Chains A and B, each alone.
Chain A
Amino acid sequence: MSIVTVQLGQCGNQIGFEVFDALYSDSHCPQGLCSKRENEVYQASCKERFFSEEENGVPIARAVLVDMEPKVINQTLSKAAQSGRWKYGQHSCFCQKQGSGNNWAYGYSVHGPRHEESIMNLIQKEVEKCDCLSGFFIIMSMAGGTGSGLGAFVTQNLQDHYSNSLKMNQIIWPYGTGEVIVQNYNSILTLSHLYRSSDALLVHENDAVHKICAKLMNIKQISFSDINQVLAHQLGSVFQPTYSMEGSYHYRRNPLGELMENLVPHPEFKMLGIRNIPQMSENSLAYSTFTWAGLLKHLRQMLISNSKMEEGIDWQVRPPLSRLPTLGKVSLNRELHFNTSIANLVILRGKDVHSADLGGFKDPALYTSWLAPVNAFNVWKTQRAFSKYEKSAALVSNSQFLLKPLDTIVGKAWNMFASKAYIHQYTKFGIEEEDFLDSFTLLEQVVASYCNL
């Protein structure tokens, strides 16, 4: 079943390129550590999901590129075509000549409706190429202008026109010390609108990925390209093919559907975080070996202590001894250090994957009281190695990962709103104070729900 990707804005388009590139490279990687026949099945499964076929055999990414200025789109198109391995469709992009000045309201209320028909037509054409549409990825930044406002509008439209298809928004959480002064406003408006019309919000934090580049990959001058590649690696390790069930060697047909069913069926809990282990530069890779026990131990502690990477994990954090049902508000100070999960999905790829012991993730102490581990924890496996890593594990988690960052952003936005700073930029284009208040209410509710796990 196929996934159609909508790449929005500078952020979305640059990341989208890296994602398709990572998927393609991995599926054609010769060091898959599996038989030739299995490799072919793996390739075919990945191809059907993310690429469509053309006569001369060059795969075309199932993607629609949208931006309000042509520069980034042209760069993306040419980078893909240059590689000669895969490319974007000739008529799959939409761009205008002007930017939107990082104005969320302009993106949502002006660009959106004005270009609605063209954009939806492009998406429709891409959907028609699929034998079976599983759903949509929408890659966008949360705090920018075009990406966020227009992204919120497009997601709403997808909800209206393709209500049965699944939608996952890949959201780029901005740097804490970002340059755009209204980024917190943009963030809360984006999040609240997406919460209403999307099925899942998979969050990638710029700060976290930046640290991974610096500490683990040892990159001295970190460019956006490096960050995007790490991000793409994480996404690829989740969505590349996996066996459909224990003991089977058939690949899962609908990973997006199963992921959503396992992680985000509750309408109030839609925020997902992603962790990946190991991450290192290619040079170090040749000299490292891992055991599943070691990898999973680290991954589990990363989950519990809300650590973003395998270095600097706080090993002091332990699950609470008794998981009593929390009837009232839990004391924030002490308990927040321990990250309570609602549901987790672990994906294992590589050698001897069937011998990996996941007992540590089935501990009821990790989870909230109203969902038992048998329902809350899922694991996907394949013995086909991912992208030259002999063993790798990924974790997609619906937990309190984003509670603190979300609370921080809402707090900062509220402080600005209380003094009505910069509100006129939004009211000028139809986003009224009422809309801000609605957004605050919704997000406060989300914060409270995650807090009371």
Chain B
Amino acid sequence: MGRRRRRVDRGAAVGALPKAIAALSRTLPAGPSPEIFRRAKFDRPEAAPALWQLLFRVLSPLSADGASASPAQEAQVRAVKSELRSQGYPRRALAQLPEDGSQGSRELLLALAWLLARGPLLERLLAQTRVRLGDEIPLCECEALARPGAPVPRVEADGPVDIRHLQWLMGKLRFQWRKLITSQQEQCALLGKIHSYTRGCHSDRSLGHLSVAETELLRDAEGGQQLLRRLESENVCLEAALRWRRQELVFWRWMDTVLGTCPPEASQPTFVPRIPERGAGEWELVARELQALQEELRGAAEPRRAAWEARVGGWGPEWSAVQRASREAVGLELAALQRAWERGGAAAQPHGPCRLVKSDAGASGGPGLRAAQVIEVLRSREACLEAVLCQLQRQCRQELARLAGALPGLIWILPPGR
């Protein structure tokens, strides 16, 4: 009796796992099939590329509708490794996987599970790709600040750079900034017009008027069809997410078994690159020479450092105390700034973009924020930042005055400005 029940349970469980994984996969961008997941448990190499791609899509910042072609395999692998490292992923085995993306499917599966378990990954991904019907404006910058985006390529200048060129580039940036602000003002004026003209057209009384997307829907039938298709595919994703939530326990129990199949991690103090067999003798020679050089450097540097420290008067313990003190001071200032912001603002502002709705002046409060409140919060933050800016400028001026005083033969000519 018990045995049959267990068999039935196992049978039900066997069916439930692929369904759960399928639901998870449907929710994720570039989600691979359940078969890939199964092969990954046994660290099969053919499962690795799909999982690298999945992790890359999950971890990289949102690109515009996935329009840009995904970068080469090595670039993807490097990006995934670096992003996981910066998020604090603990398993070293992943960092050691080869960059051609041919191996390590089990490690990748573990990494995915770690990301899922850590925080609201699916919710965040779904929120990023949401179809937006309204006219949205961002209320806070934290999303943009948390992900600084692709690193700017560093161009080494050959030879000295003329400062006039730098000033030229700064000036161009300033002009572009002003053009941006002008464009935003134009956008606001036009949005205002559309909102006024379409007053009374929306079926939802609380909104009252159409947004740009909705107006386009009425004007352009083809665009409307496309929008409908996007909404439908979003629905499919959301339903998959709900299914996943109901069934995810099965997945986690299975992940425990995956973890169980991993060999225990050997403790390695440092990351040692794999040395190819061919030429091993040469490598040893090089390694020995490097070590000798290192000893020599250490021998040369230590007495110099000691001499310098003696000259500046025992900066050893005092310097770290100074560092600690300044770090604390900065932390206090930052906290004070944030408190000032919170005091000035209403209850915590929602993160991410909000829909713009134009209502009559006397309209009683519905849900959502009033523009006047948001403006007040932004103004108080602006005032705080201006105060900090003024203080920093004052410090700069004092420093300049000190420098000017220290060099008596020098005349300082300030740039034309008021």
A31 in contact (CB, < 8 A): no
A124 in contact (CB, < 8 A): no
Q: Mark B159-182, 1 if CB is under 8 A from A, else 0.
A: 000101101111110111011011
- Point out the residue from A165, A195, A265, A370 that lies within 8 Å of B172, measured CB to CB: A265
- Assuming the contacts A132-B186, A266-B168, asked whether A260 and B181 have C-beta atoms less than 8 A apart, the reply is no
- Considering only CB atoms and an 8 Å cut-off, how many residues of chain B contact the other chain? 26
Question: How many residues of A sit at the interface, in one of the four size bands?
Answer: 20 to 34
- Point out the residue from A131, A166, A192, A445 that lies within 8 Å of B186, measured CB to CB: A131
Is there contact, CB below 8 Å, between A265 and B171? yes
B117 in contact (CB, < 8 A): no
B300 in contact (CB, < 8 A): no
- Assuming the contacts A134-B182, A164-B181, A164-B182, asked whether A265 and B174 have C-beta atoms less than 8 A apart, the reply is yes
- Point out the residue from B164, B175, B179, B189 that lies within 8 Å of A131, measured CB to CB: B189
In the bound complex, residues from chain A placing their C-beta under 8 Å from that of B418 are 196-197
- Point out the residue from A1, A265, A325, A441 that lies within 8 Å of B413, measured CB to CB: A441
- Point out the residue from B165, B170, B175, B185 that lies within 8 Å of A260, measured CB to CB: B175
A267 in contact (CB, < 8 A): yes
In the bound complex, residues from chain B placing their C-beta under 8 Å from that of A260 are 175
- Assuming the contacts A165-B182, A265-B170, A267-B167, asked whether A325 and B162 have C-beta atoms less than 8 A apart, the reply is yes
B408 in contact (CB, < 8 A): no
A371 in contact (CB, < 8 A): yes
- Assuming the contacts A132-B189, A196-B417, A442-B416, asked whether A265 and B182 have C-beta atoms less than 8 A apart, the reply is no
A378 to chain B, nearest CB (A): 12
- Assuming the contacts A254-B179, A264-B171, asked whether A370 and B189 have C-beta atoms less than 8 A apart, the reply is no
Q: How far does the alpha carbon of A325 sit from the alpha carbon of B172 in the complex, in Å?
A: 22
In the bound complex, residues from chain B placing their C-beta under 8 Å from that of A195 are 416
Q: How far does the alpha carbon of A34 sit from the alpha carbon of B63 in the complex, in Å?
A: 41
B374 in contact (CB, < 8 A): no
Is there contact, CB below 8 Å, between B178 and A370? no
In the bound complex, residues from chain B placing their C-beta under 8 Å from that of A166 are 175, 178
Cβ-closest chain B residue relative to A165: B182
Is there contact, CB below 8 Å, between A257 and B175? yes
Q: Mark A257-279, 1 if CB is under 8 A from B, else 0.
A: 10011001111100000000000
In the bound complex, residues from chain B placing their C-beta under 8 Å from that of A261 are 172, 175-176, 179
- Point out the residue from B162, B171, B175, B186 that lies within 8 Å of A1, measured CB to CB: B186
In the bound complex, residues from chain A placing their C-beta under 8 Å from that of B189 are 131-132
A369 in contact (CB, < 8 A): yes
The 9 closest A-B pairs by CB, nearest first: A265-B171, A132-B186, A370-B162, A261-B175, A265-B172, A370-B165, A164-B181, A266-B168, A164-B178
Known: A165-B182, A261-B175, A267-B415. 17 other contacts (CB 8 A): A132-B185, A132-B186, A132-B189, A133-B182, A164-B178, A164-B181, A165-B178, A166-B178, A195-B416, A257-B182, A260-B175, A261-B179, A265-B168, A265-B171, A375-B168, A441-B413, A445-B416
Ordered by A's residue number, 6 sampled pairs between the chains whose C-beta atoms are within 8 Å are A131-B186, A166-B178, A257-B178, A257-B179, A264-B171, A267-B171
